[in-house]
């Protein structure tokens, strides 16, 4: 079994026919058939079923295809890493970001990565903070931007910002101004995410400590659902500054008495060390977050660089 044969199997499986695969691999079709035949003979099992309109993988072929894809990807990543050590970062980097900050972060990450690191193929996945945290813990992404990374297991977290939560709403309130007391914010009709989110649990904890009750009238699982209710004036919400910034910037009021703060970190699994390309993107995202804080687009205080802490 050779790497060439595995690559040919992948090409055939994805092309759906020997003729198309031969064109894609720049090899004569008889030679391609001969290589697959040798592979099947060595393994003593059929990998492909010939049909009138092409070929399909057998059960054994499908399993070998999955293994081959993993092996080839790892080998290609090693090649990219070796090229990267020459100072030209190359390869794929996957990043998780909170959906609440996606509108602010996603365009900046993509634009800056394209300008500074054209050899890096960046994949950004946005979702609820719990989803991002799980992706980091399981090593499904190279790293992520997450609040309260101390809740995650087996991760290395690098604090970047300390942000204060704000109240957003288009409803009449007894007081006006740039700040709002927590008790008043809690008493307003609120729309919040589910209890599985750290933010919701944190607010309920503060409410219990302050002896007040959160007036949660609506529970939504998406940022779009929350923003639609806030935009319509049916409810307010409590969240971080980047969330809904474009729509609700004029209505944002910082919560006081007490202020509610949380740390935003860049985190990655201790079982998936950063590649050179991922390290370059980690530094790019960190500097981007710091620039957003300094410019006022993200109401937060920068955290001075220090030794990373294990979260396990």
| Closest among 105, 95, 81, 77 to 143, alpha carbons compared | 95
Instruction: Answer yes or no: CATH 3.40.190.10 is held by domain 3-84.
Output: no
pTM attached to this predicted model:
0.67
91-162+263-310 is classed CATH 3.40.190.10 = yes
pLDDT in tens, 145-190: 998 788 788 889 999 999 889 998 888 899 988 899 999 999 999 9
**For 47-94, what is each residue's pLDDT tens digit?**
998 887 788 889 998 889 888 887 877 776 666 666 656 567 888 899
CATH 1.10.10.10 domain range(s) in the chain: 3-84
Q: Do 92 and 84 form a contact (C-beta atoms < 8 A)?
A: no
Domain 166-259: which topology? D-Maltodextrin-Binding Protein; domain 2 (3.40.190)
Computed over every residue of the chain, the mean pLDDT equals 85
Residues of the chain with CATH 3.40.190.10: 91-162+263-310, 166-259
- pLDDT of 289 reads 95
Mean pLDDT of 184-204: 90
Distance of CA 30 to the CA centre of its chain: 44
């Amino acid at each position: 079994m050779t790497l060439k044969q595995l690559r040919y199997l992948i090409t055939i499986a994805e092309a759906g026919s020997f003729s198309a695969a031969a064109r894609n691999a720049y090899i004569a079709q008889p030679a391609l058939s001969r290589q697959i035949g040798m592979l099947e003979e060595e393994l003593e099992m059929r990998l492909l079923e010939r049909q009138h309109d092409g070929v399909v993988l057998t059960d054994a072929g499908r399993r070998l295809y999955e293994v081959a894809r993993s092996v080839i990807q790892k080998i290609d990543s090693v090649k990219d890493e070796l090229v990267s050590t020459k100072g030209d970062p190359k390869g794929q980097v996957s990043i998780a970001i909170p959906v609440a900050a996606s509108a602010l972060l996603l365009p900046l990450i993509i634009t800056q990565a394209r300008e500074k690191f054209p050899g890096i193929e960046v994949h950004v996945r946005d979702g609820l903070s719990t989803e991002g945290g799980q992706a980091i813990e399981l090593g499904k992404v190279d790293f992520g931007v997450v609040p309260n990374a101390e809740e995650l297991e087996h991760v290395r977290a690098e604090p970047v910002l300390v942000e204060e939560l704000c109240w957003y709403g288009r409803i009449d309130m007894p007081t006006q101004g740039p700040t709002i007391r927590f008790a008043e914010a809690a008493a307003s009709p609120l729309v919040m995410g589910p209890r599985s989110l750290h933010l919701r649990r944190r607010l309920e904890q503060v409410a219990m400590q302050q002896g007040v009750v959160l007036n949660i009238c609506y529970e939504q699982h998406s940022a779009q659902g929350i923003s639609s209710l806030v935009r319509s004036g049916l409810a307010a919400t409590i969240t971080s500054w980047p969330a809904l910034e474009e729509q609700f910037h004029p209505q944002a009021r910082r919560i006081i008495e007490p202020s509610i703060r949380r740390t935003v970190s860049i985190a990655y699994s201790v079982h998936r060390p950063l590649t050179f390309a991922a390290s370059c993107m980690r530094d790019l995202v960190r500097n981007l977050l710091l620039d957003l804080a300094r410019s006022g687009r993200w109401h937060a205080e920068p955290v001075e660089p220090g030794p990373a802490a294990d979260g396990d």
